[in-house]
Every structure is written in structure tokens, then in C-alpha cells.
Amino acid sequence: MDLVHNLIILWDLDDLRSQTINLKSLSLLLCGAATLNIADRQNAHSMTLAVRGVTDLFRRENELHQEILAFSISHDHRTVRIYGHYPIIKGKETAFYRHPIRTFDFTELDGKEKWTAYKFTNNVYDIWMPTHLKKNMLSYR
């Protein structure tokens, strides 16, 4: 059984509620040993809770419907899976889904892809998250 580590990118909802956004205090959750499929299910559950929290906090159907609100990365010793998590909002009903962004073997092509998950994570923090938080905080006020 191959062991994996899950990287779940979250943000602190207390910071959002108090409108004090400190991008350096965003939460990372590193979970331990499981198979890749179990890690994917755990990530899906955790991200559903995170997306539900953001959806409840910023309940604006037209803006959050089908918008990726969280990301998860699962990996084992060779395979990486990156997902985007989003809500589908129909009136008062909300369903939560994940979209596979990328699945790859980071040992292929002599390790050419070994930094892809790292670069993706940095881009989430440096590019996507500040824009996403600013947009949602402006409409929250």
C-alpha cells in the first residue's frame, strides 16, 4: 500500500468574518498516511466543508455558482492529483463538486514535472488567492 500526503489549501474564515486578511496566516492542513484514493476522498470531504463555509459566508448565487473556491492536492510516491472544488447553487439548494485540474506522474520525462505541484501551490497563494479574497471581501462589506 502506497502512502500519500494530502495538501489542502484553506483560508481562515474567522479572518474573513473580521475583515482582517493576512495572507501569511492562511491555513494549510497536512494529513498523514493513506492510499491515494482514500486521500482523494478525505480531501473531497474537507474541501466540501470549506466551500460550504465560503458559500454560506458570501451567499451570492450569481457570483459563487460554479466558481472554484478551494483546491486540493493528493500525491503518493509518483502520482499527483490536483482538484478544484466549487458549489452549484440552485436557489436555496447547494451541491458541492470537484473538478480534476491535473493528474500526472512527477517521475515521467526524467522528472520534468517534479516542480509542477509546487508551482501550482505558489500560484494559488500569489495570484489566485489575493484576487479571490479581495473580490469577495469587497462585496462582503
pLDDT of 28-51, one tens digit each? 333 444 677 777 777 777 777 777
pLDDT of 89-122, one tens digit each? 787 788 888 888 888 887 788 878 778 878 888 8
Average pLDDT of the residues in 71-78 = 80
Contact indicator for 57, 16 with CB cutoff of 8 Å:
yes
**What share of residues in the chain are helix, strand, coil (percent, to 5)?**
45, 30, 25
Integer Cα distance of 85 and 48 in angstroms: 7
pLDDT of 123-139, one tens digit each? 888 888 888 777 766 55
